[in-house]
Amino acid sequence: MLIGQSEVRGTEGVIRALNPATLKEIEPDFGAGSAADVHRACVLAEEAFDSYRESSLTTRARFLRTIGQGILDLGDTLVERTCAETGLLRSRVEGERNRTVGQLELFASVVSDGRWIGATLDSPQPDRKPQPRPDLRSRKIALGPIAVFGASNFPLAFSVAGGDTASALAAGCPVVVKAHSSHLGTSELVGRVIQHSVAACGLHPGVFSLLLGIGNTIGELLVKHPAIRGVGFTGSRNGGTSLMRIAAERPVPIPVYAEMSSINPILLFPQALKKNAHVIAKGFVDSITLGVGQFCTNPGVVVGLMGEGLEEFKRAAASEIATRIPATMLSPAIQSAYRQGIERLKSCRSVATLAEVSFSEKECLGAPALFTVTAKQFLANASLADEVFGPSSMMVECEGRDEMREVVERLPGQLTASLFVEGSDAEIARSLLPMLERKVGRIVCNGYPTGVEVSYAMVHGGPFPATSDSRTTSVGASAIERFLRPVCYQNTPVALLPSALQDSNPLNLPRLCDGKLKQP
Catalytic residues: 259, 296
Q: Considering only 161-169, 277-285, 291-299, 440-448, which stretch makes contact with a second copy by CB under 8 A?
A: 440-448
For residue 513, report the phi and psi dihedrals to the nearest 5 degrees: -110, 115
Q: Considering only 56-64, 164-172, 196-204, 428-436, which stretch makes contact with a second copy by CB under 8 A?
A: 428-436
DSSP tag of 103: H
Rule CB under 8 A: choose which of 202, 360, 496, 504 binds a second copy.
496
Alpha-carbon span 88 to 73, nearest angstrom: 20
Rule CB under 8 A: choose which of 12, 80, 105, 122 binds a second copy.
122
Helix-helix angle 90-113:57-73, to 10 degrees: 170
The candidate with the shortest Cα–Cα distance to 438, out of 396, 403, 470, is: 470
- Of 121 and 210, the one with the shorter C-beta distance to a second copy is 121
Rule CB under 8 A: choose which of 41, 317, 396, 429 binds a second copy.
429
* CA 220, chain centre distance (Å): 20
Sheet strands (E) in 241-375: 256-259, 266-268, 301-305, 327-328, 352-356, 365-366, 369-374
List, in order, residues 6 or more apart from 366 with CB less than 8 Å away.
292, 293, 326, 327, 328, 329, 335, 338, 359, 390, 391
Strand-pair partners of 25? 18
Our finding on whether 495 is near a second copy (CB under 8 A) is: yes
DSSP tag of 55: S
The candidate with the shortest Cα–Cα distance to 75, out of 64, 90, 65, is: 90
Containing 428, the helix (H) or strand (E) segment is: helix 425-439
Q: Considering only 79-87, 107-115, 158-166, 182-190, which stretch makes contact with a second copy by CB under 8 A?
A: 107-115
Our finding on whether 421 is near a second copy (CB under 8 A) is: yes
- Of 269 and 359, the one with the shorter C-beta distance to a second copy is 269
Q: Considering only 4-12, 23-31, 161-169, 480-488, which stretch makes contact with a second copy by CB under 8 A?
A: 480-488
Per DSSP, the residues of 167-190 read: HHHHHT--EEEE--TT-HHHHHHH
- Of 195 and 242, the one with the shorter C-beta distance to a second copy is 242
Rule CB under 8 A: choose which of 447, 499, 502, 505 binds a second copy.
447
Tell me which amino acid residue 372 is: T
Q: Considering only 218-226, 331-339, 391-399, 452-460, which stretch makes contact with a second copy by CB under 8 A?
A: 452-460
Alpha-carbon span 363 to 19, nearest angstrom: 11
Residues 247-286 that bind a second copy (CB under 8 A): 248, 252-253, 255
Q: Considering only 152-160, 332-340, 380-388, 424-432, which stretch makes contact with a second copy by CB under 8 A?
A: 424-432
CA dist list (Å): 265 to 202, 301, 314:
47, 5, 16
SS (H, E, C) 257-296: EEECCCCCCEEECHHHHHHHHHHHHHHHHHHHHHHHHCCC
In the complex, the smallest distance separating the C-beta of residue 111 from a second copy, rounded to whole angstroms, is: 13
Residues 288-307 that bind a second copy (CB under 8 A): none
List, in order, residues 6 or more apart from 113 with CB less than 8 Å away.
510
- Of 315 and 405, the one with the shorter C-beta distance to a second copy is 405
Rule CB under 8 A: choose which of 173, 444, 500, 509 binds a second copy.
444
Our finding on whether 506 is near a second copy (CB under 8 A) is: no
Our finding on whether 243 is near a second copy (CB under 8 A) is: no
Number of residues that bind a second copy (CB under 8 A): 83
The candidate with the shortest Cα–Cα distance to 215, out of 34, 26, 85, 445, is: 34
Alpha-carbon span 233 to 242, nearest angstrom: 11
Is the sign of the CA dihedral 452, 456, 459, 460 positive or negative? positive
Rule CB under 8 A: choose which of 7, 50, 308, 402 binds a second copy.
50
Rule CB under 8 A: choose which of 126, 127, 129, 130 binds a second copy.
130
Rule CB under 8 A: choose which of 13, 95, 283, 326 binds a second copy.
95
CA dist list (Å): 244 to 378, 382, 406, 502:
30, 24, 30, 39
- Of 110 and 210, the one with the shorter C-beta distance to a second copy is 110
Residues 53-92 that bind a second copy (CB under 8 A): 54
Our finding on whether 382 is near a second copy (CB under 8 A) is: no
Our finding on whether 137 is near a second copy (CB under 8 A) is: yes
- Of 115 and 196, the one with the shorter C-beta distance to a second copy is 115
- What is the chain's length? 520
Rule CB under 8 A: choose which of 443, 499, 503, 506 binds a second copy.
443
Our finding on whether 459 is near a second copy (CB under 8 A) is: yes
- Of 138 and 187, the one with the shorter C-beta distance to a second copy is 138
The candidate with the shortest Cα–Cα distance to 329, out of 84, 87, 93, is: 87
- Of 110 and 407, the one with the shorter C-beta distance to a second copy is 110
Our finding on whether 93 is near a second copy (CB under 8 A) is: no
Residues 30-49 that bind a second copy (CB under 8 A): 49
Q: Considering only 55-63, 120-128, 278-286, 373-381, which stretch makes contact with a second copy by CB under 8 A?
A: 120-128
Our finding on whether 233 is near a second copy (CB under 8 A) is: no
